[in-house]
Chain A
Amino acid sequence: MVIYGVALLALCSLVGLVVGDALGVLIGVKANVGGVGFSMILLISLTTWMTRRGWFKPVSASGVVFWSGMYIPIVVAMAAQQNVLGAIKGGPLAFLAGTIGVIFSFALVPLIARIGRAKRGEGK
């Protein structure tokens, strides 16, 4: 049944978000720490394990696949409710503060990715 997939997805999401909130409280931070990440790991582990035992049938999987396919539309809806006016109103200071950080962060990506590759190479 399609609902099994949707329910499993909802369960994983909820558990992950609770863990993320709890972790935030634990380290004294007013934010969810890694909630979605924990949800994802839980979903991958559970579906892999259940598929192997034949408990997670393709019909159930379609409940997960549907929501994964809705991801881009949801992101578009998310973009449509950003405070774009507020961002523009912040003026040159906000613009530069945001932009320069992004430029440096983008520049770091290939550098850090290389460190990772080198480390992985050594391991083998």
Chain B
Amino acid sequence: MNDLIHQALSKNGLLTGFAVVGVMIWVSYFLSDRLTHGRLHGSAIAVFAGLVLAYVGGRLTGGKNGIADLSAFVGIGLLGGNMLRDFSIVATAYGASFDDLKKSGLPVVIALFAGVIVSFICGGLVAAAFGYRDAVSIATIGAGAVTYIVGPVTGAALGASSEVMALSIAAGLIKAILVMIATPLIAKSIGLDNPHTAMIYGGTLGTNSGVAAGLAATDPKLVPYGVMAATFYTGLGCFLAPSVLFLVTRLIVPG
């Protein structure tokens, strides 16, 4: 009987995904309403619950894909995978205002460069503080602090060790997770309540999954603006980190 249920769940993965996530969201909104009187947004709780599930999945299977590594929950992987994520993010743009987008052009470019460079410097300094003295390792960890895609792309280009690559990816994952959790909590104090600031926020933080989930938990209306800006961040990071930023690092730390 258990086998039968298990087979049905994994064979119809996407349906399992819909059902599981639906229940998670219902419980999260219920908790948000009853325990926090709506102060902590339901979707923030749901995203956090998702991360807890991902941790549990990692613990159980030792894999990299959280709960989706359990065969009964492969559908979560499909539902939350890149294809449907991009598809639904693009859909949120329907109804967004073109004028708001155009007005924020230059500040968003500034935000993108500032965000990538500041994150790279912070990551690099931490690497140096932990005893790394070679430009390749420092740049790779710095790039990981940009996003978890920029990190390994940079590390691969520079020939970093696999230990450094793993640290670099972990730094980027920490960033993404922190942005998901922290955004709704500090949205008010950074004035994140309008399309203009949402675009600056997306450009500065840039980690796609973090920005996407952080804004969803803050105000779903702001999602398209933030994501629109963030979509250029990883590309810019992959461009800057192994080239200009690495060369500057090597000037400071020869070797």
Q: Which residues of A contact B (CB under 8 A)?
A: 9-10, 12-13, 16-17, 20, 23-24, 27, 29-37, 39-41, 43-45, 47-48, 61, 64-68, 70-102, 104-110, 112-113, 115-117, 119-120
Contacts and interface: CB of A to CB of B under 8 A. Distances in A.
16 contacts: A61-B94, A71-B92, A73-B21, A74-B88, A75-B43, A75-B212, A77-B79, A78-B81, A80-B76, A80-B80, A86-B64, A101-B120, A108-B115, A112-B110, A112-B114, A116-B106
Interface in B3-39: 17-18, 21-22, 24-25
Nearest to B228: A37
Contact of A86 (B68, B80, B130, B169): B169
B130 A113 contact: no
Contacts of B77: 77, 81
Interface of B: 17-18, 21-22, 24-25, 43, 46-55, 57-59, 62, 64-68, 73, 76-77, 79-81, 84-94, 96, 98, 101, 103-104, 106-107, 110-111, 114-115, 118-120, 122-123, 125-127, 129-130, 141-142, 144-146, 149-150, 153, 166-167, 169-180, 182, 186, 190-192, 196-197, 200-201, 203-206, 208-209, 212-213, 216, 220, 223-224, 227-229, 231-232, 234-236, 238-239
A112 B90 contact: no
